[in-house]
């Protein structure tokens, strides 16, 4: 398995794991306890706090521990608005923020009564970036907070938060930055950049899961209403017993990142560019987000393939992508749709994110696997002149065995007959909800089907249906084929309920066969 999903999570660095272990065994005390073991744990927590602060040019007292970036983003946005008061307030954010930011803003919008809070959601440019000018143009006299990510978690593009921070400071508007994908990849100096609130996560930077932090500026002070109440921990902003092992792990990971930042960024950017250069050998591949980008993320869309089928063809790659086709409803990335990609391209996208362990050999092998998969699927949909490429053998997504067997064999009878071939009928049907289609190509001799082929664009189940029908058609009459039903297709291929639309598409193709 080639792991190229470092933007989703990273492995815990050995240095961080080593630092954590004592606090999972002997040094187990509660850091809020006022005895020697408790003070020892508290000292470790405070050292880790200082290590996190050092990476971003902050002071230790400006770091508030959280359970992760989701909590940090919630605390920043809700806390700032609730401290100020929700009445007649206004927030500016973008359509491409992380879900925890968008959902938090929508929650605040949903509060009724006298709390007439509104949110402006900015659309990024075609390069994937939100400019400082866009944000400033959206401000009103009611604007309390701007929330904008530093680096897009899907595209890797860099927003103009440094430039924006100075402009907002002059206007007296708070700036919250989600820096989850920026920390450890870009140089951050909050002593020189007047950001008020900044969210961090440990597990994106080779630390443990379940721990994050929120930078809360002290001078001038950013004021927050706490979202967790109980013991007044973390300067009254976040109650709850701290987990010293997680704090220590995050601190060690951030300290390590500080020593490696420049070297990691240069090496990983070189590998990302190598991957992009290799994949440009494919025609009709699009880079999503062409603006200034962080070194570790590359997001591409591939024309002429369906997203779920593409992912099924890549069992040896751990990459991120849009939602799978399920229950005949495709859910492509909202970030890519905001960029202007249509549903088909947004769904046929892959996010490659690279890390410290990524090698040149892995990049080259991953690129070849993607190229082979795209060419094979384009051949299934009827594109000519594609080399004979074998389908994968690893059923990594656990399709029913009969479906997978048919999918593997699909290349044996895919394609159309040569123009002018006598006795050919073509039946083409589509399912708009799942953005898929299926065509049967039948060659008739003496009122019987002597040869059958198919072309298809869709998920592996839809392709399997096409291959199975083309195989079953040989030797039959039109009446015999029309008698086959979606129920029989589901039984033969063990098609699950959420893929029933694939069987129905096959039944529709059979019903459209004219009398021979």
**pLDDT tens, per residue, the chain with 516 residues:** 999 999 999 999 999 999 999 999 999 999 999 999 999 999 999 999 999 999 999 999 999 999 999 999 999 999 999 999 888 999 999 999 999 999 999 999 998 655 679 999 999 998 999 999 999 999 999 999 999 999 999 999 999 999 999 999 999 999 999 999 999 999 999 999 999 999 999 999 999 999 999 999 999 999 999 998 888 888 888 999 999 999 999 999 999 999 999 999 999 999 999 999 999 999 999 999 987 899 999 999 999 999 999 999 999 999 998 533 333 444 678 898 888 888 889 999 999 999 999 999 999 999 999 999 999 999 999 987 555 666 677 888 899 999 999 999 998 999 999 999 998 999 999 998 888 999 999 998 888 999 999 999 999 999 999 999 999 999 998 888 889 999 999 999 999 999 999 999 999 999 988 654
Return the residue matching tokens 């979606």.
486
Domain end residue (candidates: 236, 258, 280): 258
C-alpha span between 143 and 88 (Å, rounded): 9
Given 213, 235, 258, the domain boundary residue is 258
Residues 54 and 180 in one domain: yes
Does residue 86 share a domain with residue 223?
yes
In a domain, 394, yes or no: no
Domain extent for 474: 401-511
- State whether 69 and 188 are in the same domain: yes
Question: Pick from 12, 300, 33, 21: which is nearest to 156 by CA?
Answer: 300
Half-sphere exposure of 352 (CA within 13 A, CB side): 25
User: Are residues 97 and 194 located together in one domain of the fold?
Assistant: yes
Model pLDDT, residue 324: 37
Domain boundary among 203, 226, 258: 258
**CA–CA dist 486, 479 (Å, integer):** 16
Q: Are residues 184 and 52 in the same domain?
A: yes
Beta bridge partners of 5: 353
Same domain, 355 and 466: no
Phi, psi (rounded to 5 degrees) for 449: -85, 115
pLDDT of residue 327: 35
CA distance readout (Å), 44 to 19, 40, 345: 10, 6, 48
Cα gap 250→210, rounded to integer Å: 10
What is the model's pLDDT at position 513? 81
Residues 63 and 181 in one domain: yes
Same domain (yes/no): 238, 282: no
pLDDT value of residue 329: 41
Q: Please check whether residue 5 lies inside any domain of the structure.
A: no
Does 110 lie in the same domain as 240?
yes
Q: Does 503 map to a domain?
A: yes
| pLDDT for 334 | 87
DSSP label at residue 225: -
100 classed as catalytic: no
The structure tokens listed for 448 are 């019987």
Residue 452 sits in a domain of what CATH number? 3.90.1010.10
Residues 196 and 178 in one domain: yes
Catalytic residue of the set 325, 459, 490, 502: 325
Flag whether 295 is in a domain: yes
- Report the pLDDT value the prediction gives residue 387, as an integer from 0 to 100: 54
Query: Is 388 a member of any domain?
Result: no
Q: Are 150 and 231 contained in the same domain?
A: yes
The CATH number that applies at residue 79 is: 3.40.640.10
Query: 146, 136 in Cβ contact below 8 A?
Result: no
**Is 427 inside a domain boundary?**
yes
236 and 324 in a common domain: no
Q: Which residues contact 1 (CB under 8 A, 6 or more apart)?
A: 316, 317, 318
297-302 vs 285-287, strand pairing mode: antiparallel
Q: Quote the number of domains for the chain.
A: 3
387 in a domain, yes or no? no
């Amino acid at each position: 398995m080639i792991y190229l999903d470092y933007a989703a999570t990273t492995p815990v660095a050995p240095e961080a794991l080593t630092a954590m272990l004592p606090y999972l065994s002997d040094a187990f005390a509660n850091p809020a306890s006022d005895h020697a073991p408790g003070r020892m744990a508290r000292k470790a927590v405070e050292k880790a706090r200082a290590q996190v602060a050092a990476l971003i040019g902050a002071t230790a007292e400006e770091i508030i521990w959280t359970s992760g970036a989701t909590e940090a983003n919630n605390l920043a946005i809700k806390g700032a608005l609730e401290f100020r008061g929700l009445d007649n307030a206004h927030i500016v954010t973008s359509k491409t923020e992380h879900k925890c930011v968008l959902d938090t803003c929508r929650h605040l919008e949903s509060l009724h009564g006298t709390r007439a809070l509104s949110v402006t959601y900015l659309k990024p440019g075609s390069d994937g970036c939100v400019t400082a000018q866009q944000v400033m143009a959206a401000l009103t006299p009611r604007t309390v907070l701007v929330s904008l990510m530093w680096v897009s978690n899907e595209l890797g593009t860099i927003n103009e938060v440094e430039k924006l921070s100075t402009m907002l400071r002059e206007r007296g508007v708070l700036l919250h930055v989600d820096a989850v994908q920026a920390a450890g990849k870009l140089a951050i100096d909050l002593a020189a950049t007047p950001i008020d609130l900044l969210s961090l996560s440990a597990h994106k930077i080779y630390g443990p899961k379940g721990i994050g932090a929120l930078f809360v500026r002290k001078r001038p002070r950013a004021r927050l209403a706490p979202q967790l109440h109980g013991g007044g921990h973390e300067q009254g902003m976040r109650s709850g017993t701290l987990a010293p092992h997680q704090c220590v792990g995050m601190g060690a990971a951030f300290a390590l990142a500080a020593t490696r930042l420049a070297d990691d960024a240069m090496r990983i950017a070189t590998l990302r560019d190598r991957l992009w250069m290799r994949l440009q050998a494919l025609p009709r591949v699009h880079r999503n987000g062409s603006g200034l980008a962080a070194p570790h993320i590359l997001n591409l869309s591939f024309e002429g393939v369906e997203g779920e089928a593409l992912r099924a063809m890549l069992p040896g790659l751990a990459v991120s992508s849009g939602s799978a086709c399920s229950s005949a409803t495709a859910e492509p990335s909202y970030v890519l749709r905001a960029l202007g990609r249509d549903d088909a391209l947004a769904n046929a996208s892959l996010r490659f994110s690279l890390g410290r362990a990524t090698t040149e050999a892995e990049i080259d092998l991953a690129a070849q696997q993607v190229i082979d998969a795209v060419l094979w699927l384009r051949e299934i949909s009827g594109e000519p002149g594609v080399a004979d490429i074998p389908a994968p053998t690893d059923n990594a997504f656990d399709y029913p065995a009969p479906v997978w067997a048919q999918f593997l064999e699909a290349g044996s009878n895919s394609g159309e007959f040569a123009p002018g071939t006598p006795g050919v009928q073509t039946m083409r049907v589509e399912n708009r909800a799942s953005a898929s289609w299926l065509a049967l190509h039948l060659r008739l001799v003496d009122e019987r089907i002597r040869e059958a082929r198919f072309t298809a664009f869709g998920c592996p189940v839809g392709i399997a249906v096409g291959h199975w029908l083309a195989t079953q058609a040989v030797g039959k009459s039109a009446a015999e084929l029309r008698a086959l039903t979606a129920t029989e297709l589901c039984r033969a291929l063990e098609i699950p309920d959420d893929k029933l639309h694939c069987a129905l598409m096959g039944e529709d193709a059979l019903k459209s066969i004219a009398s021979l």
